[in-house]
Amino acid sequence: MPDFWDFLPQTPRFTAKSDSIRLDQTENSQRFLPVPYQTLGHLLTMLRSLLAIALSLAAFAHASEVRELIYPASTVPGELKVESHFYLWLPAGVAELRGIVVHQHGCGTGSETSGMTGADDLHWQALAAKWNCALVSTSYKAGDKGNCRDWCDSRNGSDVKFNLALADFAKETKHPELTSVPWCLWGHSGGGFWASLMQVAHPEKIVAIWFRSGTAFETWNNGGVPKPEIPEAVYGIPCMGNTGVKENGDKRFNGAWTGTHAMHLAYRAKGAPFGVAPDPRTSHQCGDQRYAAIAFFDTCLAMRLPAKDGEPLKPVDQTGAWLAEVDTDVAVPAAKFKGDKAKSVWLPNAAFAKVWMEYVKTGTVGDTTSPPAPTNVKVTGNEITWEAAADFESGLGGFIIERDGKTIAKLPEKPDSTFGRPLFQGMQYSDTPKVPLAVMHYVDKDSTPGAKYRVIAVNSAGLPSS
């Protein structure tokens, strides 16, 4: 079952709500607060923020990097019927952004609330930072009793609201290019449904898409939603359909499997650069797919990002493509492939083909490189704080704290591997950090005067920083 929001304190964010806002400045942050707060849920959001300030100023400083915009549900026909939250993280010191990485949750209360920490994810931030991109996540509040298609069908108002949020973020951050730079779309379940319709609406803006257990393809072909007109440009977008093998034949999730594979075959028949990457270990939960998804986006960003904002995306370079048969774990250069290319698994290049072969065989991707060492380590009395970036290949598994050359602690104290390899921030069903957000902070209760401390980062592959 997905992780459900447990109303633990959430660290404060830059927030904006409704069409009427006032600026409320505090000593440590700027927060846009609603006038007035309209629901108990909004009040709880405010109380969580206030409580988090009291609990941890260190956590507050970390999370203040993420901005939030909140829009109320609309009663106007054709507009978005559900309350929507948008979260934005920007890499430090970037004068001009080159793109946006979008991490889109699925349907239901658990997935909606997990989306609230998507932009806080240190590993996804590492991808965004490498390419001078923003990282965006959302939380559409349809709930378990609502209709997910009120938002996951982007034609019902979420497309318009998403672009409105980018425009509002652009004004707030003084990054006008947020309205024009291209997107990488990652979508889980209903988020994949949403991404497949955004692909049809905005093919010129999409670098690549990772469909984790969901697309709208089979639904629109079965008449469940109106079938869109598909422009030719859609078939130039690199896509990867990533389903859990245990979804195949499952009473609840079989449609994620069949829909993804049907879309793959239909788009490959049109020559689209589309692959599938079945996860042998999972059902509908996301598992360790991030290690393959981030590598896929990295490859596609290198291939397609234009040199300047406003220029069109570069076309997919097919000269280095690899191909594989569906339901196998062996890929070869396209020139050596002897099967039916119209039914093949497309992979962008040799480097990603290596990642893909390991992932479809094991459900994860290994790493032999050490993570970056922590920086800005500070000792104040018996309190140690530091900063650290995630290892690009395998994220941030945790930290080792040493005093005078001896290990005194490992963080997290109880690593959680419920949904994948243990991470410092934890990982929920929908591939986002747990709440409350982990803080780079340790109190040494046995500290001695003059003690010297060292903090070592460990990636999710278990390798320490040097």
Handedness of CA 371, 372, 373, 378 (dihedral sign): negative
**Every domain of the chain and the residues it spans:** 14-362, 375-458
Structural element, H or E, at residue 14: strand 14-17
How many whole angstroms separate alpha carbon 193 and alpha carbon 250?
19
Of the CA atoms within 13 Å of residue 241, those in its CB half-sphere come to 31
- Distances, alpha carbon 322 to alpha carbons 32, 57, 360, in Å: 49, 49, 15
For residue 177 the two structure tokens come to 């290019």
Contacts of 293 (CB under 8 A, 6+ apart): 186, 210, 212, 240, 242
pLDDT in 10s for each residue of the chain, 466 residues: 333 232 223 333 445 433 323 222 222 223 333 333 334 444 444 444 443 433 333 333 334 489 999 999 999 999 999 999 999 999 999 999 999 999 999 999 999 999 999 999 999 999 999 999 999 999 999 999 899 999 999 999 999 999 999 999 999 999 999 999 999 999 999 999 999 999 999 999 999 999 999 999 999 999 999 999 999 999 999 999 999 999 999 999 999 999 999 999 999 999 999 999 999 999 999 999 999 999 999 999 999 999 888 899 999 999 999 999 999 999 999 999 999 999 999 999 999 999 999 999 999 999 999 999 999 999 999 999 999 999 999 999 999 999 999 999 999 999 999 999 999 999 999 999 999 999 999 999 999 999 999 999 999 999 999 9
Q: What is the 3-state secondary structure (H, E, C) of 46-62?
A: HHHHHHHHHHCHHHHHH
β-strands 398-403, 406-411: how paired?
antiparallel
Count the helix, strand and coil residues of the chain and give each as a percent rounded to the nearest 5: 35, 25, 45
Helix (H, G, I), strand (E, B) or coil at 87: strand
Q: Which two tokens stand for residue 377?
A: 């380590």
CA dihedral 379, 385, 387, 393 (to 10 degrees): 120
pLDDT of residue 21: 31
**Distance (Å) of CA 22 to CA 32, 66, 170, 465:** 6, 19, 18, 45
pLDDT for residue 444: 98
Only one residue has tokens 């505090």, namely 26
User: What pLDDT sits at residue 413?
Assistant: 96
pTM: 0.89
Instruction: Name the CA dihedral angle for 219, 260, 236, 194, rounded to a multiple of 10 degrees.
Output: 50
Q: Regarding the domain delimited by 375-458, which CATH topology (the fold level of the hierarchy) does it fall under?
A: Immunoglobulin-like (2.60.40)
Compute the distance between CA of residue 13 and CA of residue 16 in angstroms, rounded to an integer.
Answer: 10
Rounded CA separation 147/454 (Å): 51
| CA neighbor of 408 nearest in space, from 440, 362, 459, 442 | 442
Other CB atoms within a 10 A radius of the CB of residue 374 amount to 19
Candidates 3.90.1170.10, 3.40.630.10, 3.40.50.1820, 2.60.120.620; CATH matching 14-362: 3.40.50.1820
Q: Give the pLDDT score at 81.
A: 97
What is residue 309's predicted lDDT score, i.e. its pLDDT?
Answer: 82
Buried b (16+ CB within 10 A) or exposed e, 351-369: ebbebbbbbbeebbbebee
pLDDT on residue 15:
58
